Structure formats: C-alpha cells, structure tokens
A and B are shown apart, each in its own frame.
Chain A
C-alpha cells in the first residue's frame, strides 16, 4: 500500500494524464481524438506551458512569481509596438523577452536584496506591471500593422508554438538536470542552509531563476500577442494562477526542492485536456471550474502526504 502510494505520488500525473486521455477519447468518439482537436489543444496550451516552466523554477527554489500574467500583457504590448516601429519579428521577440527579464530582475532584487518574500514582491510587481501596460497603451489594444499581420499571426497557427514549447521544456530540463545551476536550484529549495554552507551563491541562483521566469513570461507574451494578432494590456489575467495550478498538479512541491519539468508539462496538459474534454462533453464552464479546483486539491493533498512520509 505504501509502495503504491509512493508510486502514485511520483508518477501519478503521467498515469492520470494517460487515463484522462483514454477516457475522453473513448467517451467522446470522433471528436476528442481527432487530429484537429489534439493540435488545437497543443497550440492553445503552448504559451501556458512556457509560463509553467518559469513558474516551476521559481517554485523549486521555494518561491513563486505572481507577476508573470502581467508580464504577458506588457511583453505582448511591447512586442507589437516594436513591430509597429519596424523592429520586425526578431525585434518584437527581443523586446518582449527583455521586458520580461527586466521585471524578473526587479523581482530578484526585491527578493534577494530587500528580502521581501517572493509572494509579496511578485504580487506588488503584478499590480505595477499591469498598470504600466495599461498606461502605455491608455488601456487600448495595440493592433499589429496590416502589412506584417499575416507573418506575425501566422507564427501561432502552424507547428511553431508547439515546437517552441517543446524546445523550452527540453532546454529547461537540461538546465535543471545537467548543469550545476539546475542542481543548485534544487539545493536552494531543498535546504537553503546546506546550500549556503556548500558555498553556493544563493542570491545568484535566485536571481537567475527570477530573470529566467520573467524572460519566459516575455516569450509567452509574444506567443499570445501573435495568437491575438494584437497587444492587449488586459490579456494574461490570472495566467500566473493557472501556471501555479499546472506546476502543483505536475508534482512540484510548493515548499520547494522537489519537482520536474516533465511533471510540469504533464500538469499543463492534464489541465488542458480536462478543459477541452469537459467542453466537448458539454459540461458547463462553472462546473469545469469546480472539477479543476478538485483536481488541484487532490494534487496538493498528495504532495502534503508525501512530504509527511519523507520527513
């Protein structure tokens, strides 16, 4: 029984994802498994996955970054402005990622130097960044210039967003598992005192994490802007919470130090397929929220239970 529970806690999300995939496929014949639907779900969740990768890094250190939803909006607006000023697609991408990285750096300074808890620091930045996005656009959606609209919006229609998502997850996995920096992320989240005594520069690790998290939110912002063919200062609201939910469902501990990128990817798509399947099955959107809430509670209970076992 103990072994079964340990297995569920470690690989449960993959089993759950597979079970969900089978269940919806069999109960919704002809629709759920259609290639059009599957591609759509992959594309729809691609920027959510990019956000969740950044959030995984923050949560692994025992922190959190609530500002990423606002960063998505500001980065989207910045990307479209860059396009409008003739920066091209590369310029748009650079602008968005840079905006995200700067916000991440501010978060990092607040957390490591001013010593504000990450929850509060990033909550404040969430408000400020959102307000900046509204101010610079005066609350209006910024349109992509007509002559480059097709090229920009086209990015999100093909396989590119899914490829970008997979590249980000793969790179993040390499970073976490194959580089000293990645191992230090686990060390800081798992036992910050041990990390310090081992000579790890804890502040540097945290700074890297928040800058990466912000930059990834910037990337997600371009992806969303391309999908919308516009920079919307109202976009990205509560995306940070969706990301937290996906990360936790994917088995990462909110206390830090434990979790994997593949788990996060599975968490994103577990929630993504859940939304999709329930919609296809005609479940009302309010009921969908209830189901999602219950899934989150189940995942968290499992995490708490596991924490107790290893203590």
Chain B
C-alpha cells in the first residue's frame, strides 16, 4: 500500500533546477533508499517532503492526502519525521529533554499547569531508548553522549507520537562501523512496525543491505528506480555518475620529475588514520573520497593547519609543519575550498589580496614599497588571467572563478614546491573552470607538484595524472591516468574496508 507519493515535483532556484519532475513513492513498512552524488537533489527533495521548501510544481501525498507544503510543523503532525545529517540536538539539555523538545509534557502543580513533568518525560524517553536498545541514560546531558548515542536520541525523538514515515539523511556518515550495523538493525525493526523509511546514504553496501527499493537521482532527475534485487553495484554506480565528460581539459604532456612530496602514515586525531601518497615535480595527483573521508584534512595537515603525526618529506628533507607559516617556508602552499570564509579578503582590493601574504618581499627597512608591490600584483593578475575592473576592485565583488584566480596569484607570488588545491572549481561556472584547469596545467610546467583535492570525479579524471582515493581517514587505493573511471573510483571510495 502506498504511504507516500511524490509526483512530478519540480523546484527551481535562481540559476539551478534542483528537482525536475521527480516522482518517488514509499509503501508502509518499506525501506526505500535514495542515492545520488552531491548536488543531485537529495537534500532538496527531503526539504520539499518535510515542508521546508514549497515545490514549484508537483504533488506530495501521504495516505492519498496532500501534505501541507511549506509547513514543517504541519507535516510533522501528519507523522512525517526527518532526521537530518547534521544532528540537531541541544547540547546542555538532557537526552529526555531533547526527545521532548518543543512537545514537553506538563504537570499541574501549585494550581497551575506550567511545570515540566520531568519524571514523566524521563521515564517515557527511557522507555523509547530502551526499546531501541540504545543503552542511553535519558537523564544524561547530550554533551556527555557519543555520536552514536546522540543518533539514538534523535531517533527516539523522531519516534514520539504517531509516526508514519521516517526519513534518515546519511545516518551512518559519522558512525564507526559497529554502530552503523546496529543502526541498520534498528531501522529494519522500525520498518517491521509498518513505518515507511526513506534511507539516504553514500555507503552503497548499506543501501544494498537494507533497502527494498532504490531510486537514483542525478542532476535533479530520477535516472533509475528499481527493487534492490534487480540492481547490482555496477549498474547503480553508472546510474549515479554516468555523464559525458566534455572536452574541457588540457592535454597533459608533462612527464613527472623527481618526488617532491612524500607522505607516509599521516594521521590526525579524529580525522586521518593513515595516509600515504607521493607527488612528483610537474605532476597533478588527484585526491578524492566521499564527504567525511578526510580529503580536506589531508590538505590542512600538509599545511600545518591541524596537528598531525607521520613521516613527511619535501624534496627529501623532513617536513613537519606546526603552522601554515612553517609549511609555506618549506614551500608547501594550500588554497582553501572555502574561498568566502577563509580565502579572499572581500573588502580589500584585488591588488592587496594578491600581495597581502608576501608584503615583506616588498619592504625596505620595514616600509612597504607600494610601487613594487603594485607592479608585482599587476604582473601576477595578468599571469593568472584575473579579470577585474583594475587592481582597485574589491575582491568580494569578483565572480567565483576570478576570486579563485586571485587566490592562486597570491599563493604563487612566492616560489613554491607543492601546491595543494582544495576543490578549486567549486561554485565556478563552466567557462571559468576550463580556464582554471589550463592554469593548473601551466603551473606544472614550472615544476610545481600539485595535489588536487576534489569531489567532482570528471574533473579529476580529466586533470590528474594519478588519483588517490580515500575512505574513513585513510588512503585506500590509487588509479593511474587511463585506468581511472568514475565507476572504479566510486567502488574504491565506497568499498567495505577492514577497519
């Protein structure tokens, strides 16, 4: 019996069609998995379902009656519960208080009914938690609970009242594998009670283990939907990533030179558990993995921005940076994935943005020689093809692609040996992407070794000479240019690796 039915749901944001005629249904007691790459439209779909977004077209029916669109509370009252990937608990309240947050039980005392029924809430929450086999004390403050325990509190909260449909968005993304297995058991139990489950996960093993049906989203459209028994891993991955790679990448001709960066057993508490990689002079090494695999942490560790252990060498000398300035002094530079938050200085002009980290280069007796700085900025802006209304334009008003070029110009104003690029084309339009690819290619001809971190597989396949794949904080495999396909990368990134 169909519990939930979405049909023809379309949602457009300025410049993006996030959902394009998506139809999707869930039966009572069924686990229906929803998979797709980042940006495929899964989050938008959940938000439409939960009432956070009003769809431009299409209908969302529960038990044949339409859900109130744009009314999260109304949707929740109809028995639709969503557990978001980012856990939404209040740290200083107890597990029980979080379970009942916004729906507190009250008790009449001193003639008025404004008092919390603390005993009642605690007992009721404890019962739900015990039913789940969670082993969580309902009276414990959330700050004292582990991630897995917090997840249990979230589930207990979602199960308050009459629940018809439960949506879990990447519920295991931050769980150790034993806890993840327990969570799957719990989800199966809930489905047996007749609750419809929408299960979103990047971990394909999990999807195959738990789902009755699988629907694949890509670029806002459903590219496939079938009972799990009719799909295999290979066909699923193809449905997820299968898109044509346009001829937007430069032809790589450079033959790599000597090893410039050598990393063995790099570890960082809570983030990295064993990363091995080498980068040669003039080489582009791609680094990828799913969200949470530790891609960015590798860049930050190389840059001395987070504490790490392990053996690293740059040009044969030991390299153990404790701060970005030490990394820079050794010739290792990092360009952030988050230009807005930790890259450009938006109110400073283009010239200042380019020279700001290299000002001592232009100083004489402590005074900055503005003319020399200006000349250097002009040359760098030209070399990196920064398109602005002159060096005086505020960097915050540039397009994403030009901001990225400003960052590259700044980073390479001084001589570097290794350049770590973290998602250099995120939020950059297609034309500027091609320009940035060409720039990166040109940099390798200077003998620079480049570690190219990206979650966009087509660009890595197009750009990298080798691709290193990460999972769970460690490197799990490496694919040479030519051998790398999206399917093989996804297989490595999602394969079950012995912990």
Taken residue by residue from 164 to 197, chain A's Cβ proximity to chain B (1 for < 8 Å, 0 otherwise) reads as 0000000000000011110110110011011101
B90 touches A195 (CB 8 A): yes
B143 lies within 8 A of chain A by Cβ:
yes
B92 lies within 8 A of chain A by Cβ:
yes
Q: How far is the CA of A199 from the CA of B104 in the complex (A)?
A: 11
- Rounded to whole Å, the gap between the CB of B147 and the closest CB of chain A is 13
Q: How far is the CA of A190 from the CA of B157 in the complex (A)?
A: 17
- Rounded to whole Å, the gap between the CB of A181 and the closest CB of chain B is 8
- Rounded to whole Å, the gap between the CB of A302 and the closest CB of chain B is 16
A194 touches B76 (CB 8 A): no
- Rounded to whole Å, the gap between the CB of B122 and the closest CB of chain A is 13
Residue of A nearest to B105 (CB): A180
Residue of B nearest to A191 (CB): B90
- Rounded to whole Å, the gap between the CB of A157 and the closest CB of chain B is 32
A35 lies within 8 A of chain B by Cβ:
no
Taken residue by residue from 68 to 88, chain B's Cβ proximity to chain A (1 for < 8 Å, 0 otherwise) reads as 000011001000000010001
A257 touches B103 (CB 8 A): no
A146 lies within 8 A of chain B by Cβ:
no
Q: How far is the CA of A200 from the CA of B90 in the complex (A)?
A: 12
**Of A181, A199, A257, A310, the contact of B73 (CB 8 Å cutoff):** A199
Interface band, chain A: 20 to 34
- Rounded to whole Å, the gap between the CB of B50 and the closest CB of chain A is 9
B91 touches A190 (CB 8 A): yes
Residues of chain B lying within 8 A (CB to CB) of residue A199: 72-73, 76, 102-103
Residues of chain A lying within 8 A (CB to CB) of residue B116: 178-180, 183
Q: How far is the CA of A310 from the CA of B114 in the complex (A)?
A: 32
B115 touches A186 (CB 8 A): no
Chain B stretch 112-132: residues in CB contact (< 8 A) with chain A: 114-116, 118
Given the interface pairs A178-B115, A195-B90, the reply to whether A183 lies near B97 with Cβ below 8 Å is yes
A258 lies within 8 A of chain B by Cβ:
yes
Across chains A and B, the number of contacting residue pairs, with CB separation under 8 Å, is 61
Residues of chain A lying within 8 A (CB to CB) of residue B102: 184, 195, 198-200
Interface band, chain B: 20 to 34
**Of B72, B84, B88, B104, the contact of A180 (CB 8 Å cutoff):** B104
A257 touches B115 (CB 8 A): no
Residues of chain B lying within 8 A (CB to CB) of residue A178: 115-116, 118
Given the interface pairs A199-B73, A199-B76, A310-B143, the reply to whether A187 lies near B115 with Cβ below 8 Å is no
Chain B stretch 163-185: residues in CB contact (< 8 A) with chain A: none
**Of B73, B91, B97, B118, the contact of A191 (CB 8 Å cutoff):** B91
**Of A184, A193, A257, the contact of B88 (CB 8 Å cutoff):** A193
Residues of chain A lying within 8 A (CB to CB) of residue B93: 183, 186-187, 190
A198 touches B101 (CB 8 A): yes
- Rounded to whole Å, the gap between the CB of B268 and the closest CB of chain A is 16
- Rounded to whole Å, the gap between the CB of B260 and the closest CB of chain A is 35
Given the interface pairs A194-B101, A199-B102, A200-B102, the reply to whether A179 lies near B115 with Cβ below 8 Å is yes
Residues of chain A lying within 8 A (CB to CB) of residue B470: none
Residues of chain A lying within 8 A (CB to CB) of residue B92: 186, 190, 257-258
Chain A stretch 197-229: residues in CB contact (< 8 A) with chain B: 197-200
B488 lies within 8 A of chain A by Cβ:
no
Residue of B nearest to A180 (CB): B104
Q: How far is the CA of A180 from the CA of B84 in the complex (A)?
A: 24
Q: How far is the CA of A190 from the CA of B118 in the complex (A)?
A: 20
A197 touches B115 (CB 8 A): no
A310 touches B91 (CB 8 A): yes
- Rounded to whole Å, the gap between the CB of A311 and the closest CB of chain B is 10
Given the interface pairs A178-B115, A179-B114, A179-B116, the reply to whether A187 lies near B88 with Cβ below 8 Å is no
Chain B interface (Cβ < 8 Å from any Cβ of A): 72-73, 76, 84, 88-93, 97, 101-104, 106, 114-116, 118, 143, 157
Instruction: Identify the 5 closest CB pairs spanning chains A and B, nearest first.
Output: A198-B102, A194-B88, A199-B102, A198-B101, A180-B104
> Can you name 18 A-B pairs with beta carbons within 8 Å?
A179-B115, A183-B101, A183-B104, A186-B92, A186-B93, A187-B93, A187-B101, A190-B91, A190-B92, A194-B88, A198-B88, A198-B101, A198-B102, A199-B76, A199-B103, A200-B102, A257-B90, A258-B91
